[in-house]
Amino acid sequence: MVLYHGSQHLIEKPFFGGGRHANDYGKGFYCTESESLACEWAVSDKHDGYANRYEFNEDGLSVLNLNGPDYTILNWLAVLLKYRTFDVRYGVATLARRYLLDTFSVDVEAFDVVRGYRADDSYFSFAQDFISGAISYPQLTVAMRLGKLGEQIVIKSKRAFGRIRFVSAKPAVREDWLVVKENRDSAARRDYFDMRKTPYRLDDLSIQQIMRERIGPDDPRLR
């Protein structure tokens, strides 16, 4: 397959053990199958970047697909809670963090490759609203489809790093791509606030009910 990595730098030799522990799925090399998304991720307010292009062969590798039928959004959220910093010092969010980690955690370090949502600023805020009880589980599932941010593919293991080969790099100019990036995030947030105008129904599954009923990954209400 062809993968892209958005960065301010040319990265011809991704190396095992690099990256920050506090990324969505811990240390790894974060990629996308979309060149345009890589261009968006590569730029910032002050810097241009590159969409680095690679060939990658995942045949025979163990792949964790958090967006697949074997997992729910709560599995994705539990992984996020493990690695990213959430403001969960008070109330329901404190209990929710512990429950999700205890009940829905997945050991991403046991896999060569991880696929899942990318928790950009808007997606991260949607997840935080859910664990604080501000939105229901059905609302969270709708919110995760807003903005069309797609999946990220993370190369985790030393074995997987041996399968990636640099091909080329496309310059990403901030004047071209920053506005695209900002418009995507703004659209997701606008649609989210429109969705929240819909009344929170009492029979919708909430984080409080999930904890109270000890709902686990196999519960059909999470599908």
131, 77 in Cβ contact below 8 A?
yes
Q: Mind listing the pLDDT tens digit of every residue in the chain (223 residues)?
A: 999 999 999 999 999 988 788 788 999 999 999 999 999 999 998 999 999 999 999 999 999 999 899 999 999 999 999 998 777 666 888 999 999 999 999 999 999 999 998 877 777 788 888 999 988 999 888 887 765 666 899 999 999 999 999 999 999 999 999 999 888 888 888 888 887 777 667 788 999 999 999 999 999 999 8
Sheet holding 29-31, edge to edge: 29-31, 151-155, 113-117, 63-65
Closest Cα partner for 154 from 187, 106, 188? 106
pLDDT value of residue 51:
98
pLDDT value of residue 90:
67
**172 vs 33, 41, 42, 155, CA distance in Å?**
16, 9, 7, 23
pLDDT value of residue 201:
74
Closest Cα partner for 1 from 39, 33, 34, 37? 33
Q: Quick one: 121 exposed, middle or buried, by C-beta within 10 A (0-12, 13-18, 19+)?
A: exposed
Residue 80's contacts (CB-CB under 8 Å, 6 or more residues apart) are: 24, 86, 119, 124, 127
Residue 60's contacts (CB-CB under 8 Å, 6 or more residues apart) are: none
pLDDT value of residue 99:
96
pLDDT value of residue 148:
62
95: tokens are: 């209990």
Rg (CA), the chain: 18
- Length of the chain equals 223
Rounded to whole angstroms, how far apart are CA atoms 161 and 17? Answer: 10
pLDDT value of residue 169:
97
Rounded to whole angstroms, how far apart are CA atoms 170 and 29? Answer: 18
Cα angle value 80/85/87 (rounded, 5°): 110
**2 vs 14, 25, 121, 164, 219, CA distance in Å?**
15, 21, 26, 10, 36
Residue 52's contacts (CB-CB under 8 Å, 6 or more residues apart) are: 4, 5, 6, 7, 10, 11, 12, 38, 166, 168, 169
48, 25 in Cβ contact below 8 A?
no
pLDDT value of residue 196:
75
pLDDT value of residue 146:
67
Tell me, yes or no, if the pTM score tops 0.75: yes
Residue extents of the structural domains in the chain: 2-222
